[in-house]
């Protein structure tokens, strides 16, 4: 038998922790490892596999498009790219004059948004002195230099300082917004639910107040929906629960159903800030990934998966409640992005016990478990989840 773990350890960059398992196959909400063990996947590649594994719509879209036209460069356009841009304008609510920039990941979508923010220089006096960019403590926006500068975790940034300038981190409170937002600020970056922080919600009324104040002071409200977007919280985008629109939204994870794709969508006047030649990406928007994303959006609509995310999310909360575990103190998040708060810092041990019981859940930090199952999850999988999580809790 091949020792994949040993070969991984000898060849992969040390940035990665040793793998939890070596996976070889997936179908629906299930994956199999190299030893033939089967796991119920309640992480979905970190909210990426919105349609689960090997969904026929994704398989067909990738197969057809790779055999037709996979890549052409940005000197040319392709129908799937134009169609996806139009659909993203529609589902985000950007409409006209919204615009879309395609890239390959969440970090790159936030890099594009960072460059957009730098272009919002003019204040009411016209002296071009907007230089501050605000982001939230404990937020996560990616690992490239710009997206890392936005990320509110000092321990992530410090080994790579100096960061691109101008970014300040503030508390996720309405008071901090009221104190900090003024004519010196170019943009405010917000994650509507902080996924990497352990699925942490914003205070009530936060996004509505942020929208008000950003409009009043000419600040771009940039919402990072890389993890929350594409139906995961029970709406196409989490900000839609609050009846507001951002000036820009970044999208990635769930959009491609497993193929790498990211996007920045701009709204209204923000669509005029980046001009010809100011940004680009070789792979961005290629027909292989955009055709696949179109198929993912079709399947979400045809299979009613946004309503499913809401209903299954409620069911999951009920299941967790009826386990009556003294270890579980709260459930956070919305739809199918849920965080389980633990009374003790044992998230790693619990996720390991769950893996033993054939269930993949994620220790987002030492006292939070993150659940992000595929949006296709159904009754059978919820029953399996309950049984396996109960088994894991009992094994602790």
Ligand X SMILES: *Cc1c(COP(=O)(O)O)cnc(C)c1O
Binding site for ligand X (CB under 6 A): 105-107, 110, 140-142, 191, 195-196, 224, 226-227, 252-253
State the Cα–Cα distance between residues 9 and 16, nearest whole angstrom: 9
Residue with smallest beta-carbon separation from ligand X: 106
**Residue nearer to ligand X on the CB measure, 255 or 393:** 255
- Tell me how far, at minimum, the Cβ of 226 lies from ligand X, in Å: 4
- Tell me how far, at minimum, the Cβ of 74 lies from ligand X, in Å: 20
- Tell me how far, at minimum, the Cβ of 297 lies from ligand X, in Å: 18
Place of tokens 């996924």: 195
- Torsion angle of C-alpha atoms 98, 89, 86, 301, degrees rounded to 10: 180
**Residue nearer to ligand X on the CB measure, 106 or 373:** 106
**Residue nearer to ligand X on the CB measure, 110 or 325:** 110
Q: How far is CA 13 from CA 18, 141, 156, in A?
A: 11, 22, 17
166 class by beta-carbon count within 10 Å (0-12 exposed, 13-18 middle, 19+ buried): middle
**Residue nearer to ligand X on the CB measure, 107 or 177:** 107
Q: What tokens were used for 19? A: 């793998």
User: From its phi and psi, is residue 47 left (phi > 0), alpha (psi between -120 and 50) or beta?
Assistant: left
Asked, as a colleague might, if the bond just before 276 is cis with ω within 30 of 0, I would say no
Number of helical (H) and strand (E) elements in the chain, helices listed first = 13, 17
- Tell me how far, at minimum, the Cβ of 321 lies from ligand X, in Å: 26
Place of tokens 């390959």: 104
**Residue nearer to ligand X on the CB measure, 340 or 353:** 340
- Tell me how far, at minimum, the Cβ of 394 lies from ligand X, in Å: 31
- Which residues are designated catalytic? 140, 224, 253
What per-residue string of b and e applies to 25-50 under the rule 16 or more CB within 10 Å gives b? ebebbbbbbeeeeebbbbbbbbbbbb
């Amino acid at each position: 038998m091949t020792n994949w773990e040993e070969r991984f350890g000898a060849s992969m960059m040390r940035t990665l922790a040793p793998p939890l398992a070596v996976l070889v196959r997936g179908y629906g909400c299930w994956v199999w490892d190299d030893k033939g063990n089967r796991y119920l996947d309640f992480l979905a590649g970190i909210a990426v596999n919105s349609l689960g594994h090997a969904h026929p719509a994704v398989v067909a879209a990738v197969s057809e498009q790779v055999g037709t036209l996979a890549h052409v460069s940005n000197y040319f356009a392709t129908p799937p790219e134009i169609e996806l841009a139009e659909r993203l304008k529609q589902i985000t609510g950007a409409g006209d004059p919204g615009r879309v920039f395609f890239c390959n990941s969440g970090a790159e979508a936030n890099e594009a948004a960072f460059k957009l923010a730098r272009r919002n220089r003019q204040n009411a006096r016209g002296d071009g002195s907007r230089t501050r960019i605000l982001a939230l403590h404990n937020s996560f926006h990616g690992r490239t230099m710009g997206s890392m500068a936005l990320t509110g975790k000092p321990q992530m940034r410090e080994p790579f300082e100096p960061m691109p300038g101008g970014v300040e981190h503030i508390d996720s409170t309405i008071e901090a917004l009221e104190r900090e937002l003024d004519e010196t600020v170019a943009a405010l970056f917000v994650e509507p639910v902080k996924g990497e922080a352990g699925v942490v919600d914003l205070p009530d009324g936060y996004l509505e107040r942020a929208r008000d104040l950003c409009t009043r002071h000419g600040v771009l409200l940039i919402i990072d929906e890389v993890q929350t977007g594409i139906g995961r919280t029970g709406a196409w985008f989490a900000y839609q629960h609050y009846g507001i629109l951002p000036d820009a939204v970044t999208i990635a994870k769930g959009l491609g159903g497993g193929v790498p794709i990211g996007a920045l969508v701009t709204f209204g006047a923000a669509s005029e800030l980046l001009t010809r030649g100011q940004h680009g990406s070789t792979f961005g928007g290629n027909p292989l990934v955009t055709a696949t994303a179109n198929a993912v959006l079709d399947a979400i609509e045809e299979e009613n998966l946004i309503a499913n995310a809401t209903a299954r999310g409620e069911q999951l909360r009920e299941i967790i409640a009826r386990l009556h575990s003294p270890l579980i103190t709260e459930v956070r998040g919305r739809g199918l992005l849920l965080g389980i708060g633990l009374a003790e810092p044992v998230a790693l041990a619990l996720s390991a016990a769950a893996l033993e019981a054939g269930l993949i859940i994620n220790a987002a930090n030492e006292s939070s478990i993150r659940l992000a199952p595929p949006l296709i999850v159904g009754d059978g999988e919820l029953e399996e989840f309950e049984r396996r999580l109960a088994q894991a809790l009992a094994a602790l």
